[in-house]
Amino acid sequence: MPYQPIENYGIIGNMRTVALVGRNGSIDWYCYPHFDSPSIFGAILDENKGGRFQICPVADQVRTKQFYWPSTNILVTRFLLPDGIAELEDFIPVGIRADSPWIGHLCRRVRCVKGTVRVRLICRPAFNYGRGSHETQLDTNGASFHSGSQTFTLPSAVPLELDGQGGVIAEFLLEEGKSQLFIFRADGARGCEGDVPCPPPEKEAEELFQRTLRFWRKWISSCTYQGRWREHVERSALALKLLTFDPTGAIIAAPTTSLPEVVGGTRNWDYRYTWVRDAAFTVYAFLRIGFREEAAAFMNWIETYAAKHLRPNMPVPVMFTIHGDCEIPESTLDHWEGYRASGPVRIGNAAVSQFQFDVYGEFMDAFYLYNKYVSPISYDPWVRIRRRLDWICENWQRPDAGLWEMRNREEHFVFSKVMNWVALDRGVRLAEKRALPANRTKWIQERDRIYEEVMTRGWNEKRRAFTQFYGSEDLDASLLVMPLVFFMAPNDPRMLSTIDAILKSPSQGGLVSDSLVYRYPPDPRIDGLPGEEGTFNMCSFWLVEALTRASQTSPEKLDQAMLLFERMLGYANHLGLYAEQTGSQGEALGNFPQAFTHLALISAAFNLDRRLGSRNPT
């Protein structure tokens, strides 16, 4: 079976793990029990060895449509045949009791809505990233799969057969109005006639569906955004909720590993972790659209889990697991070929050991926003913050690996300096607003020194723009954030000139190609990695927001921002989801879906809509 385009997938989940479901009805990625657990189905990274769970019609001429049940994360895949129509509903139950026997399992209900449809089922797990062997057994209630201490079952009312490859298959006819439910579950319980539990009755299956539907609709009803792009904002919020680890409040960067930034290349990374720099953007995006509880939960994760690894006079780890650990060794799965032969497949992330100085700015901005909009910061966290800001005063002159996690160099990246300024600035503001004890004089002095240095060493007079690092002539899209974090006015001539430089095409030294933004010049490769990557969706939304803010004194930039935003919406997949990058033909590249992109979309939509609402009619 050929690889599906990355953009052909939707996701379902329960705030502990997710599954990627293709338009062909195949679950090709599913880790259990958590996002960063070993995979059970991984065909997206090796179509032959990865394992899959597919339900689809047996027919040659099949057209597919896929959508979410309105205001939910219940995925519906429609199969349109010349003489029939089948629908596949996929979800992981939420909103049910913690002791429910169906919690945390894959629910797949296929129904015939027109004519008669022959359906094929293939369930072929590959435990522990395909490294573990397993035993498959059949009984009267379905199938069971045993691998070490893990046992999964597939209750089935239709007869299953062994497929000779460690899985089971079935073919069955569905008449109009009829349905079959399949639940793939981790099972320690025993069924009524052996190892496999009895399939649930139709009434119970419908109750699972309805409870899940009510949960998602109730949750999204808290969204306060009522602007022009409500549908897109709500879908982004629902995606972010799926990427939240409910027990701790952590939000992962993406639920996948090693989906390539360039097909056939080696730019393949594991994103199933939480980056500290996501903190401010996460808190800001959630607060802007009314989700105070999610913002508070993320800050609680920082204070309760991540903060335990903060050591005086030592850099802050740049990423953590969903449980707050920072031991994330990187290794490769050499037995897997990778998506479309794009090896290596990596698990873990070596960037955890990098020194990335920008994280302190995002960290402090998150605390500032939390204090302002959610709850006042208490004394003990403030003491830790105060010590860290004193440390920044003594260390901000150091080079680092930067936002883009360069694996081949450290430089004085301008973005890192700006975010060091943000850290001290927010510390000063917090201390003043709350009358908290602080070394204000020192913080203000060093904050101002950073500002002056960025304006002198970060500014390239030849390019008439801020550049990637001191002495560089390359642009960097991360500097579009400068007005967003209030480092400088959006209408400052230097900022406007930087935006204009970025808006040029790469052939002219800019970063924009058909409204899509590269994070830095695509050629030559400053990061030392082979292959040309795609454009960064997050950076494209940052450009929208920078243009929106600049339009206060340059009204023509508002039209630019609107057009660019609409074009970016056109690069979402059919469900409104984004990978990290977009390729030259509009294809999704990189891990999918990416939280940072959806955070940036929410922020851009909020500020663009607000600016349009305040524009004087002509």
pLDDT at res. 616? 56
pLDDT tens per residue across span 328-337: 999 999 999 9
User: In this structure, is residue 526 part of a structural domain?
Assistant: yes
Q: Is 395 contained in some domain?
A: yes
Look at residue 533 in the predicted model and tell me its pLDDT. Answer: 82
Tell me the pLDDT tens digit for each residue of 296-335. 998 888 888 877 777 777 788 889 999 988 889 999 999 9
pLDDT band of 191, cuts 50, 70, 90: very low
The CATH number given to whatever domain includes residue 476 is 1.50.10.10
Q: Is the pLDDT of residue 351 over 90?
A: no
Contact indicator for 375, 437 with CB cutoff of 8 Å? no
What CATH code is carried by the domain that includes residue 60? 2.70.98.50
Q: Which helix (H) or strand (E) holds 79?
A: strand 75-81
pLDDT per position as a tens digit, 554-578? 899 999 999 999 999 999 999 999 9
* Residue finishing a domain among 164, 197, 230: 197
Residue with more model confidence, 277 or 333: 333
- DSSP notation for 434-494: HT----HHHHHHHHHHHHHHHHHHSEETTTTEE-SBTT-----GGGGGTTTTTSS-TT-HH
Q: How far apart are CA 37 and CA 587, in angstroms?
A: 28
Domain assignment of residue 284, yes or no: yes
The answer to whether residues 189 and 322 belong to one domain is no
Residue 190's pLDDT band, with cuts at 50, 70 and 90, is: very low
Is residue 264 located within the same domain as residue 126?
Answer: no
How do strand 63-68 and strand 75-81 relate by DSSP bridges?
antiparallel
Question: Which has the closest alpha carbon to 394: 449, 351, 356?
Answer: 449
Position 189 confidence tier, pLDDT thresholds 50, 70, 90: very low
Alpha-carbon span 11 to 256, nearest angstrom: 11
User: Please, which pLDDT band fits residue 265 given cuts at 50, 70 and 90?
Assistant: confident
Tell me the pLDDT tens digit for each residue of 460-494.
999 999 999 999 999 999 999 999 999 999 999 99
Name the pTM for this structure: 0.95
CA atoms within 13 A on the CB side of 422: 29
Whether residues 265 and 179 share a domain: the answer is no
CB 233 within 8 A of CB 289: yes
Between the alpha carbon of residue 69 and those of residues 102, 210, 235, 570, 581, the distances in Å are: 21, 11, 11, 21, 26
Give me the mean pLDDT over the 116-140 stretch. 96
Instruction: Provide the pLDDT for residue 618.
Output: 47
Whether residue 339 is found in the same domain as residue 477: yes
Residues 545 and 421 in one domain: yes
Q: Looking at 197, 212, 235, which one is the last position of a domain?
A: 197
Question: What pLDDT, on a 0 to 100 scale, did the predictor assign at position 528?
Answer: 66
157 plus 235 within the same structural domain: no
pLDDT tens digits, residue range 400-418? 988 888 877 889 999 999 9
Would you tell me how many other CB atoms lie within 10 Å of the CB of residue 371? Answer: 21
In this structure, are residues 477 and 501 in contact, taking their beta carbons and an 8 Å threshold? no
Task: Quote the number of domains for the chain.
Answer: 2
Average pLDDT over residues 245-274: 93
Residue 166 lies in a domain: yes
**Does 167 lie in the same domain as 291?**
no
CA distance 328 to 105: 27
Classify residue 215: in a domain, yes or no: no
Give dist(CA 158, CA 161) in Å, integer.
10
pLDDT greater at residue 187 or residue 31: 31
Distance CA 21, CA 432 (A): 50
* Residue 214 is assigned to a structural domain of this protein: no
Quick check: 152 and 186 in contact, CB under 8 A? yes
> 70, 71, 69: which is closest to 90 by C-alpha?
69
Q: Which helix (H) or strand (E) holds 39?
A: strand 39-41
Whether 579 is covered by a domain: the verdict is: yes
Q: What are phi and psi of 149, to 5 degrees?
A: -85, 0
Are 306 and 173 found together in one domain? no
For 122-136, give the DSSP string: EEE--HHHHTS--EE
Mean pLDDT of the chain: 93
Q: For residue 236, what are the contacts with CB-CB under 8 A and spacing of at least 6? A: 576, 598, 599, 601, 602
Least confident of 348-357, 377-386, 410-419, 521-530: 521-530
Which DSSP category does 16 fall into? S
Q: Which of 373, 368, 220, 364 is nearest to 288 (CA)?
A: 373
Q: What is the mean pLDDT of residues 419-434?
A: 97
Q: What backbone phi and psi angles, to 5 degrees, belong to 400?
A: -150, 180
Q: Is the peptide bond before 125 cis (omega within 30 degrees of 0)?
A: no
Q: How far apart are CA 197 and CA 189, in angstroms?
A: 8
**Parent domain of 364:** 220-614
Tell me, what DSSP letter sits at residue 325?
-
Cα–Cα dist 285/542, whole Å: 13
- Quick one: 135 and 238 in the same domain? no
What is d(CA 168, CA 148) in angstroms, rounded to the nearest whole number? 19
When mean pLDDT is compared across 54-58, 150-154, 530-534, the lowest value belongs to 530-534
Do 410 and 476 belong together in one domain?
Answer: yes
Residue 204 lies in a domain: no
Tokens 């009204």 appear where? 555
Nearest to 589 by CA among 532, 506, 511: 532
Interval 8-28 mean pLDDT: 97
